[in-house]
Amino acid sequence: MAETTQRAEILCVGTELLLGDIVNTNAAFLSRRLAELGIGVYRQVAVGDNPQRLCDALAACLERADIVVMSGGLGPTKDDLTKETVAKFFGRPMRLHQESLETIRDYFKKTGRVMTQNNEKQAVMPEGAIVFPNRYGTAPALAIENESKTVIMLPGPPVELMPLFDEEVVPYLEKKCDAAIVSRNVHFFGIGESALAEKMDKLLTESENPSVAPYCQSGEVRLRVTARSDDKESAAAMCDECVKRIIESEVGCFVYGIDTDTIENALVMKLHESGLTLSAAESCTGGLIAKRITDIPGCSDVFFGGCVTYTNEVKQRLLGVKGETLDRYTAISAEVAMEMARGVRERTGSDIGISATGIAGPGGGTEEAPVGTVYLGISTEEGESFRRLSLSSNRSREFIRTVSATNAYDMVLKYIASK
């Protein structure tokens, strides 16, 4: 592999970023794309619409990086100063770029809007700039190459920046690169980040290429494996070998998917593969189990729907849970969870019914069932079973509900795997 990996930094311009009025999604998008191109991003910086501070930040970025990708400050107003600042930095005069002016005129004609004088400013470019026409707005993107350094300037609005980068800048950068990066995500459920890190300590510490890093979110953990090589194929092969090592290790039993995005995605995929159908009966999760499944387009072939039964009476009316069961065991019980799962399975006609009943808090806990106590039920033609969760009572309502839903999905995945 060529060891001349290019270093990049991202420099975003806009006072609205520093005021926290907008979240910097551009930085994440650009980082992801640059990583895919094999360009390492070493720093993301955001500064306001202030020419001196912008110039200082640019100088610092260029001292460290080969490529600086900038976003924002290409608009028509007076505080849009990115091009002017970069031109001054490299000692290049500004010139009207005739082609850009025509493209901007065309854009206004097509969108039926009136072009104002200050839009002409958007067609003025530093001498020698490589101009990338913008079909999504009025400000063209541009690049300046100066000795070994490259500065790429993109318009700030994500709806313009993202397609413009993919269509114009990616082909431009691909030529510059001689390395490719491939990543795989290994998704775990049922093991915490610390426990996973301890068991995989050697791999996490020693892995450089591929590198292995843990990420944690609402009771789930994933390991991201990233390999860099000359071409996509060999980088992918390096990744796959590392993923295989993880799957074959002692933590392999906790892996629910590779690059599956979320556990509900893995679930919908497994339901499709197995030809089984699902429905859900929800008390404490209040629709979250169904909501996360129906986030996934195309889930309607395998997910029939279900019931949200937030009161005892509605559990009886919609799901046929017996009053006797509720009286004897209370609503927070394995028995009620299993009757709910059976009820929803029978009433919707699905192969599998899942259910959740518990105390999501912050109020409502008792000595027998403190906040965080959740019973999950599963019903199939083979019968019913349940899982009891005792989550910490100082966890948020959102966390308790999310982890409950995730556990319900895990129960269905385990059932499908056992078939």
Comparing CB distances to a copy of itself, the nearer of 79 and 231 is 79
Comparing CB distances to a copy of itself, the nearer of 59 and 247 is 59
Tell me the closest approach of the beta carbon of residue 327 to a copy of itself, in angstroms.
19
Tell me the closest approach of the beta carbon of residue 257 to a copy of itself, in angstroms.
17
Tell me the closest approach of the beta carbon of residue 155 to a copy of itself, in angstroms.
11
Nearest residue to 332 via CA among 286, 381, 372, 379: 372
* Measured distance CA(60)–CA(21) in Å, rounded: 26
Phi, psi of 166 (to 5 degrees): -65, -40
* Measured distance CA(305)–CA(353) in Å, rounded: 10
Residue type, 268: V
Comparing CB distances to a copy of itself, the nearer of 147 and 368 is 368
| Structure-token match 């431009």, residue found | 172
Comparing CB distances to a copy of itself, the nearer of 274 and 393 is 393
Tell me the closest approach of the beta carbon of residue 92 to a copy of itself, in angstroms.
25
Nearest residue to 35 via CA among 160, 196, 295, 213: 213
Element (H, E) at 364: none
* Measured distance CA(185)–CA(222) in Å, rounded: 6
Comparing CB distances to a copy of itself, the nearer of 146 and 211 is 211
Comparing CB distances to a copy of itself, the nearer of 130 and 236 is 236
Comparing CB distances to a copy of itself, the nearer of 102 and 127 is 102
Annotate 126-146 with b (16+ C-beta within 10 A) or e (fewer). beebebbbbeebbbbbbbbee
Tell me the closest approach of the beta carbon of residue 88 to a copy of itself, in angstroms.
20
Tell me the closest approach of the beta carbon of residue 197 to a copy of itself, in angstroms.
5
Tell me the closest approach of the beta carbon of residue 354 to a copy of itself, in angstroms.
13
Helices (H), 215-281: 232-248, 263-274
Between CA 179 and CA 8, with CA 202 as vertex, the angle to 5 degrees is: 30
* Measured distance CA(90)–CA(301) in Å, rounded: 59
